[in-house]
């Protein structure tokens, strides 16, 4: 089951201070790359899995989507999302992704940002999403990269020359990872990149694009902290077609 | 250009002592997984890119292939391969993969084991292979895994508890890596996993299977040194369809 950590008041408050919470999509460095993977949204029916504050749902409506079903397990997240808009074209929906159920061929785009690594039954979610999409439409999603989720001790280290490196281990050992983040214990599910790709293919998707996200030189110049992402990826971006 | 290190006498002699040189396919721990990705070879025309001693070419003929074009840049490798068989159904061919040229739709399976990380122009090779395959046929290959090729210092380290970890850095910095192996300087080309997948898709392939290779518990029990592969992968296995 997805941990309801996002409903913990302290965690929720800390999460609210993050750049991507304050600034929305513009606070997420990987957003321009995700956006380039999205189709034209005009007239599209969209489902957003793990919508959080609803930034993407509102963006999708602003870019022509006719309707967004925006799903999250956290009541606090959905309450905050509802405060930010009462647009009737967005249906904020409380649902644990572990028990996702969607009507067949009811959407023209499925989207998910940094939510599926909280799901134990990924292949189940992928099957539901595949069935819920109209033929030819896309599932664009991000998860924490397997390199990021794998280690026993996911903390930067430095070599004698002062270069940062990431102490990778347990890459092939799939399953639960419990880490401390924003003062809360977070339960995530580590899977290899191959497993993620193969589960998509097994659900019937065709892989269109896979990106171990890293910043451009211009992005690093604008935000030097992003240079860490050149050493090891935090985000995996995938586009797949039904 | 591919480094002709395999034609260096000392390197060639050291390479000849490796388990996979002495025992062929049976000496390669990833072989059973590769084999499971291969189609029935009966009646198939096969091209092997980077054939080395020709172990796979001979295996393919023994399993029903009608013809194998077995390509390698190293004259010493091909001379050794020719010593091991004079089967007229195998055409050992000296060619740098950087300048690969194959007739259109002339093969029913393309295979490559641990060769394409030596190639600077991967997308060029993939285009040639795609064109050379009959519609619906497969390209099954392995390369050194991006996690394995990326680091500045690709050597195991141990934490205070004695656990091995792999000091990953420079993952997003694609390009040349020069390492010392078997007493020789080896030039390899590091690419992210996303780049490899996207170049296949760009060449027209459909991704069928991606595997960050790791051993089964039984394989680790039989060869405890393989447990390193649970910490970080050495081999990336891919099956793609034309």
The answer to whether A211 faces chain B, any CB pair under 8 Å, is yes
CB A109 within 8 A of CB A46: yes
**Percent with pLDDT over 70 in chain A:** 98
Of A153, A198, A206, the CB nearest to B206: A206
Residues of B in contact with A232 (CB under 8 A): 168-169, 171
The H-or-E segment that residue B221 falls in is helix B217-222
Mean pLDDT check: name the lowest of A179-183, B42-46, B50-54, B56-60. A179-183
The reply to whether residue A169 touches residue B231, judged by beta carbons under 8 angstroms, is yes
Angle subtended at Cα A168 by Cα B176 and Cα A1, rounded to the nearest 5 degrees:
130
Give the list of residues 6+ apart from residue B167 with CB closer than 8 angstroms, or none: A157, A159, A165, A166, A167, A168, B151, B152, B153, B155, B157
- Which residues in A lie closer than 8 A to residue B207 (C-beta atoms)? 197, 201, 206-207
- Contacts with A193 from chain B: Cβ below 8 Å: 193, 210, 212
Contact B216/A at CB under 8 A: no
Pairwise CA distance, residues B221 & B192, whole Å = 31
> Are A166 and A206 a contacting pair, CB within 8 Å?
no
Tens digit of each residue's pLDDT (9 = 90 or more) over B61-83: 999 999 999 999 999 999 999 99
Q: Which residues pair with B138 in a beta bridge?
A: B109, B241
Q: From CA A183, how far away is CA A128, in angstroms rounded?
A: 33
Cβ separation B198–A211 shorter than 8 A:
yes
Of B152, B169, B172, the CB nearest to A212: B172
What is the distance between the alpha carbons of residues A112 and A130, in angstroms, rounded to a whole number?
13
Which two structure tokens, joined as six digits, stand for A179? 């880490």
Question: Which of A138, A143, A158, A171 should be substituted to probe chain B, the one whose Cβ sees the most B Cβ atoms within 10 Å?
Answer: A171
ipTM of the complex: 0.95
In the prediction, which pLDDT does B2 show? 52
pLDDT the model gives residue B1: 45
Most A CBs within 10 A among B171, B192, B226, B240, hence the mutation to make, goes to B171
**A7 contacts A211 by C-beta, under 8 angstroms:** no
CB B141 within 8 A of CB B197: no
Query: Are B172 and A214 an interchain contact pair (Cβ–Cβ within 8 Å)?
Result: yes
Give the max Cα distance, chain B. Answer: 57
Contact B84, B57 (CB under 8 A): no
Distance from CA of A126 to the nearest CA of B (A): 16
Contacts of B232 in chain A (CB under 8 A): 168-169, 171
Enumerate the β-bridge partners of residue A235: A144
Least CB–CB distance from A153: residue in B159, B207, B229: B159
* Whether B116 contacts B191, CB under 8 Å: no
- Residue recorded with tokens 């998910």: A112
User: Tens of pLDDT along chain A (242 residues)?
Assistant: 455 688 888 888 888 888 888 888 989 999 999 999 999 999 999 999 999 999 999 999 999 999 999 999 999 999 999 999 889 999 999 999 999 999 999 999 999 999 999 999 999 999 999 999 999 999 999 999 999 999 999 999 999 999 999 999 999 999 999 998 888 889 999 999 999 999 999 999 999 999 999 999 999 999 999 999 999 999 999 999 99
For residue B131, what are the CA distances in angstroms to A106, B51, B71, B135, B229?
Answer: 38, 20, 17, 9, 34
List beta partners, residue A176. A189
The pLDDT score that the predictor gives to residue B69 is 98
Task: Give the residue with greater pLDDT, B181 vs A91.
Answer: A91
pLDDT at residue A183 in the model? 83
| Res. B161: pLDDT tops 50 | yes
């Amino acid at each position: 089951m997805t941990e309801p950590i996002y409903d913990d008041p302290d965690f929720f408050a800390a999460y609210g201070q993050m750049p991507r919470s304050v600034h929305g999509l513009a606070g997420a460095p990987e957003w321009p790359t995700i956006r380039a993977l999205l189709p034209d949204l005009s007239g599209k029916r969209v489902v957003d899995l793990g919508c959080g504050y609803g930034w993407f749902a509102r963006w999708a409506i602003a870019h022509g989507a006719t309707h967004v079903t925006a799903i999250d397990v956290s009541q606090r997240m959905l309450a905050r999302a509802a405060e930010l808009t009462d647009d009737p074209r967005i249906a904020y929906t409380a649902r644990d992704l572990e028990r996702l159920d969607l009507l067949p061929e009811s959407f023209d785009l499925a989207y998910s940002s940094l939510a599926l690594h909280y799901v134990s039954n990924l292949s189940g979610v992928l099957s539901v999403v595949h069935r819920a999409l109209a033929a030819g439409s896309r599932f664009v999603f991000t998860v924490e990269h397997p390199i990021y989720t794998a280690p026993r001790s996911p903390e930067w280290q430095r070599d004698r020359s002062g270069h940062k490196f990431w102490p990778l281990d347990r890459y092939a050992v799939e399953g639960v990872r419990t880490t401390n983040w924003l003062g809360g214990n977070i339960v995530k599910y580590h899977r290899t990149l191959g497993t993620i790709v193969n589960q998509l293919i097994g659900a019937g998707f065709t892989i269109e694009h896979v990106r171990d996200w890293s910043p451009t030189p211009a992005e690093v110049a604008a935000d030097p902290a992003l240079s860490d992402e050149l050493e090891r990826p935090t985000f995996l971006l995938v586009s797949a077609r039904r």
